[in-house]
Amino acid sequence: MSVFTTVTPDEMGAFLKRYAIGGLVELKGIAAGITNTNYFVTTTHGRYVLTLFETLRADELPYYVNLLAHLAQHGIAVAGPIANHDNAFVDTLNGKPTLLVNCLPGAVIDAPNAAQCREVGEMLAQMHLAAGHYDGHMANPRGRAWREAVAAEVAPFMDEAAAAELAAEVASLAAQDFDALPAGVIHADLFRDNALMDGDRVGGFIDFYYACNDTLAYDVAITLNDWCVLENGDIDAERARALLAGYQGVRAFEPAEAAAWPQLLRAAAVRFWVSRLYDFYKPAAGEMTFAKDPGHFRRVLQHHVARRDFWL
Ligand SMILES: Nc1ncnc2c1ncn2[C@@H]1O[C@H](COP(=O)(O)OP(=O)(O)O)[C@@H](O)[C@H]1O
Ligand SMILES: N[C@@H](CCOP(=O)(O)O)C(=O)O
């Protein structure tokens, strides 16, 4: 249950007086999610989601919150933030920075079909285009320096073969230059659990707290590695083609992106292999551990290494 900070109906009722979204009807904690506290807030005007940030500080939030506002303003399926009477998106409740957003339609799905992958690809491309004139900037905290440092840190805990495989891949990625590829704002963690699907349509993308400025096609690779994956870590070709067709119908890859695509898929697999290794071997003290299987992304990587057809 991911309600780390409790909010009572009385506290919420008083908090809502700072907004123009009506009076409280119902307040319900959201069990899903592992980082922040989230509540569904039903008011006399409609349905909203309140997030209380458990780790990010208020001064760290503007990049993400203003990005959400920018994307919502451009018609992208994201939860638009609601401003309070001081015209601020970020407020405070029970000592935590807060954000109120519109409630999105749909639900998280585990087993997407090709039509849903196409829609996700299409919305991701629209998001990349719409964010083209967003003026915030955030370097990727999970970029090359992080990858190299954390891979070295977890290596002593790994078995020899896996450590050698990871070191070789990290060295090979160090020789790649993705910096010349089209870049912009990326979601950077658009897994199935970070999107709500409303039938075959995208209800909305959520959880933008890894968003940053980086290579656009790398974001597509991160997304494809999760949405199109099979149980054994291989990729389902039908879903992969659909996701790429959806994306490229809006924003076609440039020749340099197509040439780098196999390496981008590998980089995306390594990113999550490394973060899962870290969470597995070095869980933060006092943190509730929901360590996800690092071996999954090792298998995804191995399939990419062996692959000859990349669906382009
Ligand atoms: N705007 C929204 N509309 C509807 N449901 C939402 C919205 N934002 C979050 N949720 C629900 O809350 C859950 C947890 O949100 P998430 O952002 O993943 O939390 P965390 O930041 O803790 O990882 C999601 O799986 C989804 O069910
Ligand atoms: N989608 C990632 C998890 C990213 O979030 P984190 O906060 O757990 O790093 C995965 O499945 O590994």
254 and 179 in a common domain? yes
User: CB of 3 closer than 6 A to ligand 1?
Assistant: no
Rounded distance between C-alpha atoms, residue 34 and residue 102, angstroms: 20
In this predicted structure, the answer to whether residue 85 has a pLDDT above a threshold of 80 is: yes
Range(s) of the domain holding residue 125? 114-306
- What ipTM did this prediction achieve? 0.94
Residue bearing the CA closest to ligand 1, atom 23: 33
Q: Is residue 61, in this structure, part of any structural domain at all?
A: yes
Give the CA distances from residue 272 to residues 189, 235, 278, 294, in Å, rounded to whole numbers and listed in that order. 9, 16, 10, 8
266 and 287 in a common domain? yes
120 and 140 in a common domain? yes
User: CB of 230 closer than 6 A to ligand 1?
Assistant: no
Q: Is residue 184, in this structure, part of any structural domain at all?
A: yes
Domain end (from 102, 124, 145): 102
Q: Is residue 204, in this structure, part of any structural domain at all?
A: yes
Q: What's the confidence (pLDDT) of residue 297?
A: 98
Q: Which ligand is nearest to the CA of 34?
A: 1
In this predicted structure, the answer to whether residue 237 has a pLDDT above a threshold of 70 is: yes
Q: What's the confidence (pLDDT) of residue 130?
A: 98
Residue bearing the CA closest to ligand 2, atom 9: 275
91 and 59 in a common domain? yes
Closest ligand 1 atom to 193 CA: 25
Q: Is residue 107, in this structure, part of any structural domain at all?
A: no
pLDDT band at 288; cut points 50, 70, 90: low
- The 10s digit of each residue's pLDDT in 140-189 is 999 999 999 999 999 999 999 999 999 999 999 999 999 999 999 999 99
In 3D space, the residue among 176, 194, 18 whose CA is nearest the CA of residue 106 turns out to be 194
84 and 135 in a common domain? no
Hey, which of 55, 140, 189 would you mutate to test ligand 2's pocket, going by the most ligand atoms within 8 Å of its Cβ? Answer: 189
CATH number at residue 28: 3.30.200.20
Ligand 1: distance of its center to the CA of 47 in Å? 13
Ligand 1: distance of its center to the CA of 149 in Å? 31
What is the pLDDT of the chain when averaged over all its residues? 96
Segment (H or E) for 196 = strand 195-198
Q: Is residue 311, in this structure, part of any structural domain at all?
A: no
Ligand 1: distance of its center to the CA of 99 in Å? 12
Ligand 2: distance of its center to the CA of 245 in Å? 26
Amino acid present at 6:
T
In 3D space, the residue among 182, 275, 215 whose CA is nearest the CA of residue 298 turns out to be 275
In this predicted structure, the answer to whether residue 1 has a pLDDT above a threshold of 70 is: no
Give the CA distances from residue 119 to residues 112, 218, 228, 308, in Å, rounded to whole numbers and listed in that order. 11, 18, 13, 26
User: CB of 33 closer than 6 A to ligand 1?
Assistant: yes
Residue bearing the CA closest to ligand 1, atom 27: 32
Mean per-residue pLDDT, 83-87: 98
Tokens of 161: 């073969």
- The 10s digit of each residue's pLDDT in 258-278 is 999 999 999 999 999 999 999
User: CB of 37 closer than 6 A to ligand 1?
Assistant: no
Mean per-residue pLDDT, 207-226: 98
Q: Is residue 242, in this structure, part of any structural domain at all?
A: yes
Find the length of the chain: 312
256 and 130 in a common domain? yes
Amino acid present at 187:
H
46 and 96 in a common domain? yes
Domain end (from 73, 102, 131): 102
Domain end (from 39, 73, 102): 102
Ligand 2: distance of its center to the CA of 129 in Å? 25
Rounded distance between C-alpha atoms, residue 42 and residue 50, angstroms: 10
228 and 130 in a common domain? yes
Q: What's the confidence (pLDDT) of residue 33?
A: 77
Q: What's the confidence (pLDDT) of residue 289?
A: 53
Q: What's the confidence (pLDDT) of residue 285?
A: 61
218 and 119 in a common domain? yes
User: CB of 108 closer than 6 A to ligand 1?
Assistant: yes
CA angle 304, 308, 312 (to 5 degrees): 90
Ligand 2: distance of its center to the CA of 193 in Å? 10
Ligand 1: distance of its center to the CA of 193 in Å? 9
User: CB of 35 closer than 6 A to ligand 1?
Assistant: yes
- The 10s digit of each residue's pLDDT in 55-83 is 999 999 999 999 999 999 999 999 999 99
CATH number at residue 187: 3.90.1200.10
- The 10s digit of each residue's pLDDT in 6-34 is 999 999 999 999 999 999 999 999 998 78
Q: What is the pTM (predicted TM-score) of this model?
A: 0.97
Q: Is residue 108, in this structure, part of any structural domain at all?
A: no
Closest ligand 2 atom to 275 CA: 9
State the total domains in the chain.
Answer: 2
